Structure 1
């Protein structure tokens, strides 16, 4: 995903030029080490951080990384957290990719849960693995980090299930084309890719001529005749619906780079727009025609009625997972639904392969714009959240999330752990140009800590505002080490730790009073002092509404001049409205 949008036609021209360069490659022209060739490509993709853990099979490449002027090495505490960080970095820095570097075997297997999450949630991440030399692999040497049986493809076979494309660098002649192919797949398909770099290939020199041609997403061109037919079919449905149409946006609007096209559609047509949970912040939640979150039976009644009674639903980039649809309770009736996806379009019961939304949306907007006068007369629900008046000082989920809504600022990046935090923040409209990160489909608890690290780096580079993490005490215990990396690099997130004595989301599902949902209670306010210089951080514990409100209203706290951790004491068995409904379903 280059910083400057590239047309599908230009992308195809670039691809063909690269193929020609492969045939004409001349190693005498500006030779460059294979490792530096890869770094140059990452620089072109606006990558400035590489996450990971050093290991003997990647140390040679790390020498090049450390000496590279525009890319920094971020040493993580373990490979799993590094993969989470690369995921968070890519989500915030939408026109780039995340990169995680591991060593062969032990390192790459440790990272695979994080890579699988990025695959599940469609996040472009390069998993780069330093591997033994081609000579060692060819002789099937019994090396450390192997399974002891001479199989050097065992980890590749595992990676094939959780990456969209794989590349093995085995010789000088094909190294550049292998790198380019894998990176192009990553930015085109918005999924993780896997690339191995043998120790004896890192410093081999190849032609740098291909670097003159930028990589670009190779989006296929829509067939113009079929696309025209699809537009006409949608317009027939829109006419029949007499402008009673709603727009429902979801995760793939973000993942497949159509925010601008969708915003153009909703602003020019004026149709009411709602978001599925995974699509939260895909459109501005301060936009006057935004009506809130639709999540099937868990939705607020008025939102549910507006969506499910509409004569036509224009669904853009939907992900039909259980949590995203409240256990599949979304009432998406095919006879009155049009679905736009990155690689196909569905109009009622008819599916049109290879008609992608990137090119279809502008044509559809041009036609639907004529409906704008009538569309703007359709009433929408008020999505605002009011802080309730509760006659006690207990910090409850009913109170805390609307109260937090008043603390958020435009361009904040908010990271919400899968659990009480994410379900609590669903109903809270977020400010202009804010970003919400969550992992609702993969749902690996502890993901948010590493993701916050990556996000905080991306926030620095993109001109966004604060990085704010909400996480439960149970989830934080899985990946807490990355707080030390945040301190080492001078990052300044605000971390809210919900202390309710264990895994509350699990208690909502099963085992309300079971010991397996309990955890050890840590001294949370002492953590930052253990992990780094105490003068670079500040920690708090709040027990009451008054204490929390006073902290949120403090100018010095809100300015986030240093990393801050806030332990929020909450009652066991209290949970947000949406989580209670979801778990009961």
Structure 2
């Protein structure tokens, strides 16, 4: 009798389950695997490429990725490069994020430096880690890729230090909510997030109901009363300044997606606007009220004079790191500074938590627009590249960068490596709708190569222009393998390799003649053949030794079209450096005290 009752109960449960399934189908909701749910969310965010490497704990999920109609598996040469690529991809696609997939332990730890850089520079990246099954994580066997001491959580603890949110998926009941929460945190905070995806959970079925509600990247709303008070306070001070207000745009204006709101503010108020190195291209650099790049004491004199003489500085998305601020040499006090940030506002000495700039700026624009006639009277120095007076055919840093500025076109994506490139390109005027990428704060050499891969794919998604990389010979040796991925993907970046025989930025910081700043020279123009393009069907390489050769190459229409990947080895003196780098190195040298007293 008991067996009949059990059988009857099971039959009833089966019928109810079928009825529930029928109801879901009638409502247009079908069960979906956890892996497919995650991919569906990424697809909604218009993510078209996933970076990383295969490993035995992520292979099942990789089957789903490879079979997905809209998300392409890129596949990198190592995990560090994949993290750099995800970072570059995210920087070109506002409102979205970069995604990389690694395996447990050995894979994820190889990507640590890249994710830490994305955290420091506030770039939204999702790191998915294929993890051992939930049962193995509970029983903790002596599994490969573990430390042999049962600490399966050790790697996750490391990632807690430089990710904004972590989700360790362990059951299907909470998987969808965990995925949604993590992705939302990454979008809103513009920082990396970390997820472990156990092998057995990938194919567990869950409801797809939540997919009907799109994720939002908007920050929490400001308190209306506090926001109104802040706006009135700012307006009061602007009125008292009698038009003596200047705007300084920094990195977080880009990272937290307020460039459109900011541009509307500038257009409607005619306020003069400047940017920091990390804020470069947040405002179109051909805009008539744009005055150039401010880097504290190492700024151009006319820029420094105009900005520092303003009665009020309206700082938008400020990030005052050493290389972004001329070694902290900003010369305007708190008593003249209004700061707009993603999650708070400061009006001189008063701070207003949870009043973010995304919603504040449009309201501020409406209130400040009546002041446009006054602000229009304030002169703004014309920002343009400055050519040196030189009587030499040697390619100097002073000549090279303004020359490259004339080569750039609207919508180009321009990547500069930490060192001579990121310092040299700072004062070059970019054309409209171009995008500048450099890791000025974190400063991990070699970052730009992997980032170029991601940026080029992001540029394809957005129908942008050419992708152009400037990288030193020393930095390139760290991450050069990703050239092969670019060739495999049939990408067409123009790569300028600055061959100055070693680590020039380090030479200027300390040890000009020291062997530790030397590198072994490579045959740079043979690299693309070595990395797979033996017949040069997808690429072309050049070496330029002087100004005449470089000028002729830049003027060549076929070269400028960038219809294949191109590498240009540019021969330069190992001790020549941009003046901004020289000045920054002098300031840093005093701080670092390399020589004992």
| CA drift at 1:389 | 3.6
- Classify the secondary structure of the residue corresponding to 2:111: helix
| CA drift at 1:220 | 1.5
Q: Does 1:426 align with 2:432?
A: no
Whole-angstrom CA distance in 2 between matches of 1:504 and 1:210:
53
Aligned pair partner of 2:584 in 569, 579, 582 = 582
- Classify the secondary structure of the residue corresponding to 2:138: helix
| CA drift at 1:233 | 1.0
Match of 1:69?
69
Contact 1:27 1:206 in 2 (8 A): no
| CA drift at 1:420 | 0.1
| CA drift at 1:407 | 0.2
Match of 2:3?
none
| CA drift at 1:225 | 1.1
Contact 1:46 1:95 in 2 (8 A): no
Whole-angstrom CA distance in 1 between matches of 2:406 and 2:498:
18
- Stretches of structure 2 that go unaligned for 5 or more consecutive residues are 1-19, 588-597
- Classify the secondary structure of the residue corresponding to 2:135: helix
Match of 2:16?
none
| CA drift at 1:218 | 5.2
Which is greater in Rg?
Answer: 2
Q: Does 1:48 align with 2:48?
A: yes
Aligned positions of 1:530-545 closer than 5 A: 530-533=530-533, 534-545=536-547
Whole-angstrom CA distance in 2 between matches of 1:240 and 1:560:
52
| CA drift at 1:433 | 0.3
| CA drift at 1:236 | 1.4
- Classify the secondary structure of the residue corresponding to 1:170: coil
Contact 2:500 2:571 in 1 (8 A): yes
Match of 2:552?
550
Match of 2:8?
none
Aligned positions of 1:22-61 closer than 5 A: 29-61=29-61
Contact 1:344 1:351 in 2 (8 A): yes
Match of 2:375?
375
Q: 1:100-151 CA deviation, whole Å, 9 max, x = no partner? A: 0000000000001000000000000000000000111111111000000111
- Stretches of structure 1 that go unaligned for 5 or more consecutive residues are 1-23
Match of 1:13?
none
Contact 2:248 2:274 in 1 (8 A): yes
- Structure 1 runs of 4+ aligned residues shifted over 4 Å read 24-29
Whole-angstrom CA distance in 2 between matches of 1:376 and 1:316:
20
Whole-angstrom CA distance in 1 between matches of 2:168 and 2:295:
42
Whole-angstrom CA distance in 2 between matches of 1:361 and 1:293:
22
Q: Which moved more, 1:517-526 or 1:26-35?
A: 26-35
Q: Which moved more, 1:71-80 or 1:24-33?
A: 24-33
| CA drift at 1:336 | 0.9
Whole-angstrom CA distance in 2 between matches of 1:224 and 1:544:
61
| CA drift at 1:374 | 1.4
Contact 2:474 2:503 in 1 (8 A): yes
- Classify the secondary structure of the residue corresponding to 1:406: helix
Whole-angstrom CA distance in 1 between matches of 2:91 and 2:235:
34
| Residue-pair matches, total | 562
Aligned positions of 1:86-165 closer than 5 A: 86-165=86-165
Whole-angstrom CA distance in 2 between matches of 1:225 and 1:174:
37
Whole-angstrom CA distance in 2 between matches of 1:90 and 1:106:
24
Whole-angstrom CA distance in 2 between matches of 1:66 and 1:235:
54
Q: Does 1:225 align with 2:225?
A: yes
Whole-angstrom CA distance in 1 between matches of 2:513 and 2:212:
63
Match of 1:442?
442
Whole-angstrom CA distance in 2 between matches of 1:32 and 1:320:
46
Q: Does 1:292 align with 2:292?
A: yes
Q: 1:303-340 CA deviation, whole Å, 9 max, x = no partner? A: 10111111011000000111111110012311111000
Aligned positions of 1:256-275 closer than 5 A: 256-275=256-275
Q: CA RMSD in A?
A: 1.2
| CA drift at 1:200 | 0.4
- Classify the secondary structure of the residue corresponding to 1:195: strand
Whole-angstrom CA distance in 1 between matches of 2:226 and 2:171:
43
Aligned positions of 1:342-353 closer than 5 A: 342-353=342-353
| CA drift at 1:564 | 0.2
Contact 2:95 2:217 in 1 (8 A): no
Whole-angstrom CA distance in 1 between matches of 2:176 and 2:137:
21
Q: Which moved more, 1:218-227 or 1:396-405?
A: 218-227
Whole-angstrom CA distance in 1 between matches of 2:412 and 2:217:
29
Normalized against structure 2, the TM-score is what? Answer: 0.93
- Classify the secondary structure of the residue corresponding to 1:262: helix
Match of 1:6?
none
| CA drift at 1:283 | 0.5
Match of 1:308?
308
Contact 2:288 2:382 in 1 (8 A): no
Aligned pair partner of 2:562 in 560, 563, 580 = 560
Normalized against structure 1, the TM-score is what? Answer: 0.95
| CA drift at 1:27 | 8.4
- Classify the secondary structure of the residue corresponding to 1:66: helix
- Classify the secondary structure of the residue corresponding to 1:535: coil
Contact 2:543 2:568 in 1 (8 A): yes
Q: 1:475-495 CA deviation, whole Å, 9 max, x = no partner? A: 000000000000000000000
Match of 1:570?
572
Whole-angstrom CA distance in 1 between matches of 2:571 and 2:188:
44
Whole-angstrom CA distance in 2 between matches of 1:553 and 1:170:
58
Q: Which moved more, 1:373-382 or 1:293-302?
A: 373-382
Whole-angstrom CA distance in 2 between matches of 1:513 and 1:410:
41
| CA drift at 1:219 | 1.6
